[in-house]
Amino acid sequence: MVRPLRKTKLDGTPYYRREAVETEIRELATLSVTELERRAARWPSTASGFVSPEALVYFVRNLPDGAHRDKLAEQLLGRVVRRIPRATDAGGHTESLTRMNIREDVVDRFLDLLLSDRDEYDDRLDYYEVNFNSAIAKARQDASNRHWKHENRSDELGSDEVGVSERVEAAVGDYDPFDADELDKKDYRLLLDDAIDSLPEFQRRIVEMWRQEIPIESKDPSVVTISKVLGKTEKTIRTHRDKAFASLRLRLERKGRM
């Protein structure tokens, strides 16, 4: 039986998945692990056997911990990214840091929802099973409103300074993805590189510069710093570094490297 949704509308009536999605979930539940993973990787949406994002959210939420769910979760995060406009041009050069921030904001918030739902049922994810594209569009609009508002504020207002959530702080702890002992292992380096490449662009740039031992800030005006290169305050850089480290830790844990 397909697990029902718990979220209710303002009038008290429950949310329901579309009947087509309910049918799809029941059919997909009969597939082998290998076949479901193969189907989940199919793209674009016109591909034969394409798995809807709504059904993919359902399986990520309801499957037990393990490599199978982790692989489906990776595909699901890819679906999120595909629904957000890029902040780079055809050559891969950043055109707008604000658009980059919007992009990573949407991804981060969705990842936070998945983490929260693992701890305890989070009905905020229910809408993603009802209408995934609409839910992402709403998240994009919310992020756009926040970041473009910040863009229009002066630096004196500290517009780009955001706090690190308790969950991120707990996830990071004293974790260092560039631990020398781990970096000596070739398979770890390969997995780490893949994980870094999957980060939102702004976080990836911070991590890459941190990896090159470029300081976040320096009292010496002649020293190249991450803050100077990216045009953000020290607090913002540290916040996004910690968010990146938390994401790397989660991804590497899923790969069985921690």
129 falls within a domain: yes
Same domain for 20 and 105, yes or no, is: yes
Measuring CA to CA, which residue among 162, 167, 160, 240 is closest to residue 199? Answer: 240
158 falls within a domain: no
Residue 120 and residue 36: Cα distance in Å, rounded? 25
Same domain for 25 and 122, yes or no, is: yes
Residue 66 and residue 64: Cα distance in Å, rounded? 6
CA contacts within 13 A on the Cβ side of 197: 7
Task: Determine the pLDDT at residue 78.
Answer: 93
CA 140 to centroid of chain Cα atoms: 13
Note whether 197 and 204 are within 8 A (CB): yes
Note whether 239 and 206 are within 8 A (CB): no
Same domain for 174 and 146, yes or no, is: no
| Number of folded domains that form the chain | 2
Same domain for 94 and 147, yes or no, is: yes
Residue 107: domain span: 1-152
**Range ranked top by mean pLDDT from 127-136, 139-148, 190-199, 240-249:** 127-136
Using 50, 70 and 90 to split pLDDT, how confident is the model at 160?
Answer: very low
- pLDDT value at 30 more than 60: yes
Measuring CA to CA, which residue among 48, 56, 4 is closest to residue 25? Answer: 56
- pLDDT value at 202 more than 60: yes
67 falls within a domain: yes
Percent over 70 (pLDDT), the chain: 83
Mean pLDDT, residues 13-17 taken together: 93
Same domain for 79 and 202, yes or no, is: no
Please enumerate, as own/partner, the contacts of 106-110 that have beta carbons within 8 Å and a separation of 24 or more: 106/80, 106/136, 106/139, 106/140, 106/143, 107/77, 107/80, 107/81, 107/200, 108/200, 108/243, 108/247, 109/139, 109/143, 110/77, 110/80, 110/136, 110/139
Same domain for 215 and 93, yes or no, is: no
pTM: 0.61
Using 50, 70 and 90 to split pLDDT, how confident is the model at 159?
Answer: very low
- pLDDT value at 256 more than 50: yes
Task: Determine the pLDDT at residue 255.
Answer: 63
Task: Determine the pLDDT at residue 77.
Answer: 93
Using 50, 70 and 90 to split pLDDT, how confident is the model at 194?
Answer: confident
Residue at a domain's end among 102, 118, 152? 152
Task: Determine the pLDDT at residue 251.
Answer: 77
Please enumerate, as own/partner, the contacts of 149-153 that have beta carbons within 8 Å and a separation of 24 or more: 150/98, 151/98
38 falls within a domain: yes
47 falls within a domain: yes
Same domain for 6 and 112, yes or no, is: yes
- Rounded to the nearest 5 percent, the helix, strand and coil shares of the chain are 60, 0, 35
- pLDDT value at 92 more than 60: no
Task: Determine the pLDDT at residue 143.
Answer: 85
Q: Could you read off the pLDDT of 93-141 as tens digits, one per residue?
A: 555 667 777 888 899 889 999 999 999 999 999 999 999 999 999 999 9
Task: Determine the pLDDT at residue 158.
Answer: 39
Measuring CA to CA, which residue among 171, 173, 146, 140 is closest to residue 161? Answer: 146
Task: Determine the pLDDT at residue 168.
Answer: 57
- pLDDT value at 174 more than 80: no
Mean pLDDT, residues 238-256 taken together: 80
172 falls within a domain: yes
Residues 6+ apart with CB under 8 A from 131: 54
Mean pLDDT, residues 183-210 taken together: 87
Same domain for 48 and 146, yes or no, is: yes
CA 255 to centroid of chain Cα atoms: 16
157 falls within a domain: no
Same domain for 41 and 102, yes or no, is: yes
